[in-house]
Amino acid sequence: MKVNLLLLTRQWRQIKNEALSEIKKVCSTQRLILGENVRALEEEIAGYCGVRHGIGVASGSDAIRLSLMALGVGKDALVATTPFTFFSTAGEIAALGARPVFVDIDPLTYNIDPERLESVLKKDRARRIKAVIPVHLYGQCADMSRIKAVTGDYGLRIIEDAAQSIGACYKGRMAGSMGDAGCISFYPTKNLGGFGDGGMVVTDSLRTADKIRMLRVHGSKIRYYHTEVGVNSRLDELQAAILRVKLKYLDGWAEKRRENARRYDRLLDEAGLSGNIVPPYIATTNVSVFNQYVVRAKKRGGLRAYLKAKGVSTEIYYPVPLHLQKCFGYLGCKRGDFPVSEKAARETLALPVYPELRKREIEYVVSAISDFYSGG
């Protein structure tokens, strides 16, 4: 049996007629950039996340960069974040001339550890750290109450990297709604994915929203009159039209992901794999949307190769923590500086969990894992 990590063609069959209808409407109008669909999607996503404003941009990476720019975090500033995440979280900090300050993660949730964050902030006697970017990794929110508590005395800006977690909840609050700005990715593999790149910033602040709207069009409020040096980062109408169709299904898809995760949990337990496989831990404060189902696995390399031979696709998110990436060598970090992140990078493995995954496919994956550890 072949089991893909993600198979978007199954989702496409569900939304094909609606999506094609909306695509044809956009084609007929030929309004292709920042049109009515973008404005409507901005309102719908903002409402979904429980905030006042949404600003469509060209990617989730741009959402991070524009949030930093709008909140005044630029050259020579320090920004605290996790080393165990996708590159753009720290990459966008560095691209602005700021400097990432890495903070190790919680070993259970893989999100930034508030206790370690507090320790880092206490050592920053010059108060050079201006912001923190907690990442809601794999579809589960970071411990935002504790993060806000430890940052409160320092006046830090909080930018939520919710690229993987639209729809996730923490103590009843939606991902992206708890900081100064929240950053969403519409990359095709995300729970709410477009037909290409796209992103959005969500915020309760009108000032921040207006600043990002200006910055996304080269720093211009009035065409050809530029008050600041901005960027070109606009969401396409076609992407917005498709995303508006998909948004209606998002909660249902997330529930199917949770059902698949629960099935994995049960089958892995019934197979007696607890000594070799550690399933995801979801904090009691959280409702996860399982953008990925990530386990810790003994003999991960061998298991992954075995699953590949059996037709099962997996992925490692992420094999090299950011503090060990060559491009960040100038930060002076070394192996052993962030041991929890490094251990996660050696042990974690993502299994297929997408909404259209079939029961027999999950059973096949677990059976193959069991065979590997039993020497089969």
Closest CA to 100 of 340, 343, 338: 338
Domain assignment present for 1: no
In terms of domains, do 102 and 216 share one? yes
pLDDT attached to residue 125? 86
Question: Which pTM does this prediction carry?
Answer: 0.97
In terms of domains, do 135 and 272 share one? no
Domain assignment present for 3: no
pLDDT attached to residue 233? 98
In terms of domains, do 79 and 198 share one? yes
CATH number of the domain enclosing 277: 3.90.1150.10
Q: In this predicted model, what pLDDT tens digit does every residue of 323-346 receive, in sequence order?
A: 999 999 999 999 999 999 999 999
In terms of domains, do 238 and 262 share one? no
58 in the Ramachandran plot: left (φ > 0), alpha (ψ -120 to 50) or beta?
Answer: alpha
pLDDT attached to residue 376? 65
In terms of domains, do 229 and 307 share one? no
Domain assignment present for 2: no
In terms of domains, do 231 and 294 share one? no
In terms of domains, do 154 and 232 share one? yes
Supply the range of the domain harboring residue 131: 8-247
What distances in angstroms separate CA 254 from CA 169, 189, 210, 251, one per listed residue?
Answer: 12, 13, 31, 5
Domain assignment present for 272: yes
In terms of domains, do 222 and 268 share one? no
Sheet of 173-174: strand order equals 173-174, 169-170, 286-287
In terms of domains, do 343 and 229 share one? no
What's the number of domains the chain is made of? 2
Boundary (domain end) residue, out of 228, 247, 266: 247
Give the residues of the chain that fall short of pLDDT 50.
Answer: none
Boundary (domain end) residue, out of 188, 221, 247: 247
Relative orientation angle of helices 144-151 and 114-123, to the nearest 10 degrees = 10
Q: In this predicted model, what pLDDT tens digit does every residue of 257-290 receive, in sequence order?
A: 999 999 999 999 999 999 999 999 999 999 999 9
CATH number of the domain enclosing 237: 3.40.640.10
Domain assignment present for 294: yes
